[in-house]
Structures are given as C-alpha cells and as structure tokens.
Structure 1
Amino acid sequence: MDEDRFIEVAKHAIGLGIRKPYARHGKRFYKPYRNYFATTVKSPDYELWVEMVEAGYATFSQNGYRAFFWLTHAGLDWLGDKLGMQIYDEEG
C-alpha cells in the first residue's frame, strides 16, 4: 500500500484541500461536503482503491469500466488520525 498516495486520493475524495478544516479548543475538525472518488478500472488509482476496500477503509460500486469509491467510517478515522484531525462521518 502506498500510504502517501492513499492519503492524497482520500483527501480529494472528501474535498479536503478545496475546503479547509477548522479549529476549536485547540483541536482540528473537518466536515466533508462529499465522500466519493470516481475512476476507471484502467487507472492506477483503481488498484489503490481496491487495496483500501480490502483493508476496510473504502467501499465501491462498479458499472462497466467506471468505479466509484467511498471512504468507510474506518477510512475516515484512519485519514483523520494521519492528518491529526477529526473527520465527521455523516453516516455514523
């Protein structure tokens, strides 16, 4: 697993970079406005996301050559730990 690359695509999936985290009482928080990553089965990102699905950090749906991935609660927690912030999970 290429941890740096996963962090990069996971941040993109939740829109981190377009919107910034906020701080309260010395802690950082982020509320994603989205949670998906679209790719094709021939993309190098596809294999990376499949690894994340196998690790329990993501789930996916595939329609032909297109695939859509979402971070799970465990994936959001993992990413938050790596970035030193709490990432809200709308589903959990």
Structure 2
Amino acid sequence: MPRPKDAFDGIYPCEFYTPEELLDRDQMYTIREIARLLQGLDPEADVDEGTEAVLVDWAVPWVMVNAADLVIGEPPTDEDPGYYGLRTDGDD
C-alpha cells in the first residue's frame, strides 16, 4: 500500500554507482560480489542468506541497466557463476 512522503523520517535521492565508480577495470565479478559492492561492502564480505538475496535483487537490474558498459566472462565450468567486468577500449 502506498504511503505519503511525510510518513518517513527522511527521504533521499535514489542514486547508484556507475560501473566506472564501482568496478576495478582489471577485475571480473560475480553478481553476488557486485551486490556487495553496491552496498559499500567488500566483495567477499560474509552476509546471511536473506540479506544476500535482497542485495542480489538490487544487483541484477543494475547489471541489466548498465549492460552497455560491461563485459561478461565465460564461467570456468557449467557449475560456476558468470563474471562481469567493466568494458574497456580493448574489449570486443
């Protein structure tokens, strides 16, 4: 159910990192690692399963919106996750 804005103690701009601000240009990241980075956490931070699910829910749309600025690495095996990185001039 919608709530009036004045029902909140504070409201803030909805701003997200750009890929250039978030990702190291020489590294590739899983969705779970990107999710942590979007929250200002270390990509290897230990978070509980419920929190991780929420973080991933935010990270997937971020990857989709920023797809033009990203590259995808082939997973090492069929069981491994995909990896995403910052698109650079030398990437095809």
Q: TM-score, normalised by structure 1?
A: 0.37
Work out which structure has the larger RCO, using CA pairs closer than 8 Å and 6 or more positions apart in sequence.
2
Greater Rg, structure 1 or structure 2?
A: 2
Q: TM-score, normalised by structure 2?
A: 0.37
